[in-house]
Structures are given as structure tokens and as C-alpha cells.
Amino acid sequence: MQKTNFYIALLLIAVGSNLHAQELISKDTIVFVKDKNLKFNYKQLILPVSLMSYGIIGIKSDALQSINSEIKEEVEENIDRKITIDDFSQYAPAVAVYALNNIGIKGKNNLRDRSIILATSYLIMSATVLPLKSITKVERPDGSSNNSFPSGHTATAFAGAEFLWQEYKDVSIWYGISGYLVAAGTGAFRIYNDRHWLTDVVMGAGIGILSTKIAYWTFPYINTLLKKKNKNNIGIISPFYNGSQLGVGMILNVK
């Protein structure tokens, strides 16, 4: 039974990613404006809000807490060696956007615009993840600290996956799908390494997706504001948190 629940957990993460891909492929789900940025559509909230609702309800739900505990037991009984690939894979989808552009496969936005979007996404994500960790004080499965909820690694990975999807889905949907598979794998490894509960990972996925969606929705307004403030130079400073490390990233574009 425990083993079954463990695989159900991994399947839930993967299926969530696949459903998101199907949701965005649907023509009536996305509305584009002339600057090729996404316009708000409430249907796009369904998946991230559902994931976040699962995570929030899971904090107090005995049934969902039971699933968390059974997965933890399965991990402890059958896994002897930790694999820390999630420390690196969390950044892979976002890095892929810049790598693809560097080899000549152009995405939706230029370097400046996509960097502003990514920085905005990370800022929103950090502003959500950090306070929740401090407020909820959920103990990690391995007992190392009380900042388990939500998973910062997973939020980072899914924010990057949504970023990759939006930039390259018009070139090939497989770029976006591969990004979501990497993000789902990152979440699975957070559970595998006994660092997070399923509810932490699901919540992180929802936050990551929603953060990037909001970044695309608000980009036209942010872009206009930045141009008004300075027509030549643009600088953005954005904090980030990967689950164990807090830092600051800076983007500077000088024309």
C-alpha cells in the first residue's frame, strides 16, 4: 500500500504537468495581444490554484497527511542513497531558454524582455515562498529544519518550466513538455531525498506556474514603466530562494 501511494504521488506530479500542457495547447485557453505577451484569462488559473489548494488543505487534512507519512515511510525503507540532482535540475528549464537562443533557436521574446519576465517571476515566487515557510513552520521529513512548506526547489523548477513553455511552445511544444518533465522530476527528487512532503512539492509547483503566468500578464505594464523611468538603461534586482539558499540576482541592460 505504501509503495502504491509513493508511485501515485509521482504520477500526480507528472499528470499535473501533462494536464497543464494540454490546457495551454487548447486555443480557447490563451489570448495573445500584439506584443506577443499573454493576456489574463481566468481558465489559466485552474491548474496552479488547484495545486496550491491541495497543498494548503494538506497542512491540516488528516487524509493528505497520512499520504505524506506513507510516502516518507516508503522512502526510508527502500532508498539508501540520496541523489542531489534536484539542486541543479531546478534551474534547467530556465537555463534552457537562454541556451536555445544562443544556438540560434529564437523564442518569443528578445534577451531584454525575457530577462525582465524571468526576474519578475522569481521575485513573485520568492515573495510567496519565503513568507509561507516562516508562517507555516512545517518540519521537513528528515527533521533537519522547520521550513518545509512549500518546496522552493520545486517552485523554481516549475517557474522555469512555464517560462520555457511560453517562450517556445510556438516553435515546438516538446520544448515546453520537456521543461515540465524536468520540473516534475525535480519535485519527485525532493520527495526521494526526504527533503519535502508531497504537499510541499504540489504547493511549490502551483506557486511556480502562477508566478510565471503573472509575470507574462504584467510584463506590458512593467515594460512601459521601465521605459518611462529610463529610456536607455534598465536594471532589475531580484531575490531568489532555492529551498536552502537565499540570494539576489541582477539583470542590467545598457543600450
Cis peptide leading into residue 220 (ω within 30°): no
pLDDT of residue 227: 82
pTM higher than 0.75: yes
172 is in which domain, residue-wise? 2-254
pLDDT of residue 234: 53
* Torsion (CA) 45, 69, 13, 106 in degrees, nearest 10: 90
pLDDT of residue 35: 44
pLDDT of residue 79: 76
Backbone angles phi, psi at 25, to 5 degrees: -70, -30
Strand partners, 254: 233
Residue 123, CA distances (Å) to 39, 153, 193, 207, 214 in order: 20, 14, 27, 12, 11
Q: What domain count does the chain have?
A: 1
Query: Mean pLDDT for each consecutive 10-residue tract of the chain (255 residues)?
Result: 48 50 43 48 91 96 96 84 90 96 95 96 96 97 96 98 96 96 97 96 98 95 83 55 56 55
* Torsion (CA) 117, 123, 128, 133 in degrees, nearest 10: 140
Q: How far is 81 from 12, CA to CA, in rounded Å?
A: 24
Tell which residue, 62, 57, 79, has the closest CA to residue 194. 79
pLDDT of residue 13: 53
Contact 206, 161 (CB under 8 A): no
Question: With b meaning 16 or more CB within 10 Å and e meaning fewer, what string describes 127-164?
Answer: ebbbebbeebebebbeeeeebbbbbbbbbbbbbbbbbb
Find the radius of gyration of the CA atoms of the chain: 18
Q: How far is 196 from 64, CA to CA, in rounded Å?
A: 14
